[in-house]
């Protein structure tokens, strides 16, 4: 990785700001109990925003965590901001309003991070949705592979839920790439609250054939 970003710093800031605001709007839509007249008013504003953006919609192929379309490469990862290489990720991307609030950074050979899940991501009462937890683990394990040199495609993901992972509290994220065998990458990850593990995961990831010297 390590592509050069298109556009200047100010544009990047505005894109991420509008996505962050969309996240707040999502929270309000998820968590407000508004009467019809207010919903209609909100709808009109949403439609106006959509009309502004629609002419700039990119079409075609190549959509990925790293790009808006095939002609926009991703950005390189930063030691203190690993998600920087996947700006459009639905799990951690700051240019994708569906992503929860997640930070990840490199700490030697390990990935550390922090997540905060709003009610948007609720599953059981007062707890993060099990599916959202699994999604975050997939990204976290991938990041452990990224800092070890390369990221493969997920082959198998196993998530264990030890206890409820709470909403609206900082969740510590941790992951490490254990070992690589040929094209296979094995990684482990945990979510912790006050040092106690709430969920853990193991992943087997497969490197594309061209990225390895073994067949």
Site map 49..68 versus its own copies, x via CB under 8 A: xx-xxx-xxx--xxxxx-xx
Q: Which of residues 161-180 bind its own copies (CB under 8 A)?
A: 161, 164, 167
Beta bridge partners of 101: 116
CB within 8 Å of 159: residues ≥ 6 apart: 130, 133, 134, 137, 199, 200, 201
CB of 171 to its own copies, least distance (A): 15
Task: Assess 187 for contact with its own copies (CB under 8 A).
Answer: no
What are the tokens at 22?
């969309």
Task: Assess 39 for contact with its own copies (CB under 8 A).
Answer: yes
Nearest to 132 by CA among 169, 74, 90: 90
Task: Assess 144 for contact with its own copies (CB under 8 A).
Answer: no
| Nearest-angstrom CA–CA distance, 113 and 100 | 13
How many of the chain's residues bind its own copies (CB under 8 A)?
A: 88
Nearer to its own copies, 110 or 134 (CB): 134
What are the tokens at 118?
């709003």
The answer to whether 129 and 122 have CB atoms below 8 angstroms apart is yes
Q: Which of residues 66-105 bind its own copies (CB under 8 A)?
A: 67-70, 72, 88-91, 95-98
- Candidates 10-18, 170-178, 179-187, 190-198; binding stretch for its own copies (CB under 8 A): 10-18
């Amino acid at each position: 990785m390590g592509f050069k970003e298109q556009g200047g710093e100010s544009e990047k800031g505005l894109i991420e700001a509008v996505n962050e605001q969309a996240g707040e709007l999502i929270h309000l839509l998820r968590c407000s109990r508004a009467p019809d007249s207010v919903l209609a008013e909100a709808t009109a504003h949403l439609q106006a925003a959509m009309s502004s953006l629609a002419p700039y919609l990119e079409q075609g192929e190549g959509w990925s965590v790293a790009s808006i379309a095939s002609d926009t490469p991703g950005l390189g990862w930063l030691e203190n901001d690993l998600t920087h290489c996947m700006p459009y990720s639905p799990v951690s991307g700051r240019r994708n309003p569906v992503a929860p609030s997640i930070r990840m950074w490199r700490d030697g050979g390990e990935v550390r991070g922090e997540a905060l899940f709003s009610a948007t991501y609720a599953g059981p009462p007062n707890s993060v949705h099990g599916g959202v937890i699994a999604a975050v683990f997939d990204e976290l394990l991938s990041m452990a592979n990224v800092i070890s040199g390369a990221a493969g495609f997920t082959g198998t993901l196993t998530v264990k839920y030890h206890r409820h992972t709470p909403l609206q509290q900082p969740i510590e994220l941790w992951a490490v790439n254990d070992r690589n065998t040929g094209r296979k990458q094995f990684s482990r990850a945990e979510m912790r609250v006050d040092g106690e593990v709430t969920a853990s995961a193991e992943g087997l990831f497969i490197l594309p054939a061209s990225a390895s010297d073994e067949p």
